[in-house]
Structure 1
């Protein structure tokens, strides 16, 4: 398969589907969107393993672990879209497809150009989706757009500095080698890290995130959490984890400090919230902190196993997406069951997927010799459990009659979190590993 055929399969078909969905009636647009998500799941199995190059430039990097993450996130997106299918019309459906395509490119990006193209595609689509909500949606969309523009500017500056030194790819070895430790490379990595930190909502760049999660259109928030935020977190992790000796004690300490600040701000700010979606937004801030902390430990210890961050990122984002999807139906029996399942998974309650993921993070810290980080992470995980269980205990429950609830996708999504918690080894199998 040559690179033109591959790019047609990966990007050409979803772009064509987005254009077609824009002129179809509501039901046909929804069906086209779901069919495109299924198509992208199939494409994961067709992608050739290893590096995909064009004109000597790395474009995509495909592994079984990334395939597993893509399949899992796309499956969750399909179930979420099926639960919100009445929201998919000829305006929103193309934007959802474009956002998913952008996140897909980010997940597999090997070149900085591919990363930028994916982020820009997703950001433009999400800005449109965010603006289609209630009375606060316009303000939220503008806030997200400005944050995204600033993040893109930082990434472009970082790319320019890195390209000037001949560095084009995340996977060039050794990224952390002494030969790369020049001032332009260090500055380029600083700008690139700052841009990704803003995209991920890491402290002190987090102020936009809770507002967007609270006020943006539900469909855009769920799509962003699953197919944009999760790939960005993984790329952020890869960038730090592969930096090796470039980190140095000072930079490593600074990153640990930022990660700890995100964990403190995220968990304790969520503890002070009463509105569910805003509480979830601050929880995402803390998730960015855990991811960066794990990446620093990987960089300092030389660990290369990608499954632990994939477990954590997918478990957290899938749980959050289920909570937000079910929030629309929280006054119905099946909606409440799905919401409680997502919250319990987010709190790390066994035997759900969130428990397996958080346990793997604590175990990774301990195995790398950072016992104190394992203890600190476990304490912060307990803080998240406190505000989640407080919400569950204090939240009211009223049954709304006459509501058409898509019970099957909500139930399937809940069972997915349970099955993955009992058998986390299924995750790499989804990618063929």
Structure 2
């Protein structure tokens, strides 16, 4: 019989307890709030994120804590990832509110599901046990399926949710099978015990067999090639406000999940999983960039560009050193911030009955709104890796990590892929500044809060790039 939790167990998980309580509280509050006052639910959700982030920040810098016999770990790495996830989730909610209001989708369950997804992600980055990691992953996955299908009258969204559910279930099964093989090889589900056992095993055949399936599951959750088949359909089919969430914050959580699993548990097999990640990175860079070149739908283009960005993230992660992990963490956070701005641009130019999701919809934006056309240009430049934007420094850190790990061939492939990828981002800039608008076309949304959030997000990509050393120092400290 499992002993009752003590105060020492509850202190490390206090932010998660508060977030879970807030999610249930929002569901109850939604029953009593007048539908015309949905803004109160939005405000409560933002306050919940702020309270959770403050609780995390309050405990930062201290010694690492664990709960429930090491099943849950709270250290600086987890705290940095959690604060980043809370902050970007807040930005996502700010983008989503006007978009969902116009489409009649702004309900209490949306905010509750988002908070439950965030809770799953926070559990993922603090897991010290295979069961806890899987629990957090499935909480995120189930929440994501529900978010994609939130517009129940939209056949395209329902189809995307069904594809996501079927392929996600398959990937979860493969991951669980791999974990069972790891358990069979090491005799434990605790990551620390797995690490010790893996270092002392003479015959690693079963362990490496399980490792392959574990990496397949991780690659699917990242959306890495060749396990990317769900990404373009889900990104295009889901409402843009939902795509904005599932295309940004979960990438940070996926990094935390991979780091816990590969470093804390399977570090003795780093040579093997490093090579596997390197080849997955190469496939993602090639497939993501080449297919993105042929896209006319902006959401699908961004979906394939996501695959190429995952290639850069895997490039850094393959190094298997603290410096490489810091580069991968920085890339995950930087990409999440860029993705929110990219999909936020679609939200900004959309309105009731019109989704600005085609590249042609951005034609002539410079003539209509020079300021917002400039902001979109900043976002595309950062995604393309143009200096001094934050995207450039993220790619440079990933390339440097690959070179330090002896993966010069992969770094060269990354440079070529970055040049190829710049083309489809420049195409968006070209249609905004040099093409004539077609009909009414895209019109900048009238919501002032939405305009302010997008402007702040886009400008942050430039400003953060100017203070890159302090930000990189923050990520390096997380693995010191």
Q: Mark yes or no: TM-score above 0.5.
A: yes
Identify the match of residue 91 of structure 2 among 61, 71, 79. 79
Contact 1:266 1:283 in 2 (8 A): yes
Q: Displacement, 1:235? A: 2.7
Q: Which residue of 2 aligns with 1:420?
A: 464
Structure 2: gaps of 5 or more residues? 1-6, 101-105, 350-364
RMSD: 2.8
Q: Which residue of 2 aligns with 1:94?
A: 112
Tell me the TM-score normalised to structure 2 length: 0.81
Identify the match of residue 151 of structure 1 among 150, 153, 171. 171
Q: Displacement, 1:244? A: 4.9
1:136-194 superposed Cα distances (whole Å, 9 cap, x missing partner):
11011111111221122122222222234234344564586353753332222222111
Listed as ranges, the matches of 1:4-19 within 5 Å are 4-7=10-13, 9-19=14-24
- Distance between the aligned counterparts of 1:146 and 1:414, measured in 2? 35
Q: Which residue of 2 aligns with 1:70?
A: 82
Q: Which residue of 1 aligns with 2:383?
A: 346
Identify the match of residue 123 of structure 2 among 83, 102, 105. 105
1:391-430 superposed Cα distances (whole Å, 9 cap, x missing partner):
2212466563773242222222123222211112343676
Structure 1: gaps of 5 or more residues? none
- Distance between the aligned counterparts of 1:303 and 1:430, measured in 2? 13
1:241-288 superposed Cα distances (whole Å, 9 cap, x missing partner):
674552556x65554333211211111111111111101111111222
Cα distance change of structure 1 residues 256 and 6 upon mapping to structure 2, 3 Å threshold: closer
Question: What SS class does the counterpart of residue 196 from structure 1 fall into?
Answer: helix
Contact 1:347 1:388 in 2 (8 A): yes
Task: Find the structure with the greater CA-based Rg.
Answer: 2
Structure 1 residue 268 corresponds to structure 2 residue 311: no
Identify the match of residue 422 of structure 2 among 366, 376, 385. 385
Structure 1 residue 3 corresponds to structure 2 residue 22: no
Question: What SS class does the counterpart of residue 348 from structure 2 fall into?
Answer: coil
Listed as ranges, the matches of 1:320-399 within 5 Å are 320-330=339-349, 333=369, 336-395=373-432
Query: Does 1 or 2 have the higher relative contact order (CA < 8 Å, sep 6+)?
Result: 1
Contact 1:162 1:184 in 2 (8 A): yes
Tell me the TM-score normalised to structure 1 length: 0.89
Q: Which residue of 1 aligns with 2:447?
A: 404
Q: Which residue of 2 aligns with 1:282?
A: 304
Q: Which residue of 1 aligns with 2:219?
A: 197
Q: Which moved more, 1:356-365 or 1:335-344?
A: 335-344
Contact 1:19 1:94 in 2 (8 A): yes
Q: Which moved more, 1:315-324 or 1:227-236?
A: 227-236
1:362-403 superposed Cα distances (whole Å, 9 cap, x missing partner):
222233443333222111111111111012212466563773
Q: Which moved more, 1:235-244 or 1:19-28?
A: 235-244
Contact 1:47 1:62 in 2 (8 A): no
Q: Which residue of 1 aligns with 2:180?
A: 160
Q: Which moved more, 1:231-240 or 1:315-324?
A: 231-240
Q: Displacement, 1:91? A: 2.3
Cα distance change of structure 1 residues 55 and 310 upon mapping to structure 2, 3 Å threshold: closer
Q: Displacement, 1:85? A: 2.0
Listed as ranges, the matches of 1:165-314 within 5 Å are 165-170=186-191, 173=195, 177-179=199-201, 182-236=204-258, 239-240=261-262, 243-244=266-267, 246=269, 248=271, 253-296=275-318, 298-299=319-320, 302=321, 304-314=323-333
Q: Which residue of 1 aligns with 2:71?
A: 58
- Distance between the aligned counterparts of 1:402 and 1:204, measured in 2? 37
Question: What SS class does the counterpart of residue 99 from structure 1 fall into?
Answer: helix
Contact 2:348 2:445 in 1 (8 A): no
Question: What SS class does the counterpart of residue 60 from structure 1 fall into?
Answer: strand
- Distance between the aligned counterparts of 2:457 and 2:205, measured in 1? 48
Q: How many residues align?
A: 427
Contact 1:99 1:227 in 2 (8 A): no
Listed as ranges, the matches of 1:26-41 within 5 Å are 26-41=38-53
Q: Displacement, 1:200? A: 1.4
- Distance between the aligned counterparts of 1:354 and 1:171, measured in 2? 35
Q: Which residue of 1 aligns with 2:357?
A: none
- Distance between the aligned counterparts of 2:241 and 2:307, measured in 1? 20
1:67-100 superposed Cα distances (whole Å, 9 cap, x missing partner):
3333233223212321322334212111111111
Contact 2:384 2:392 in 1 (8 A): yes
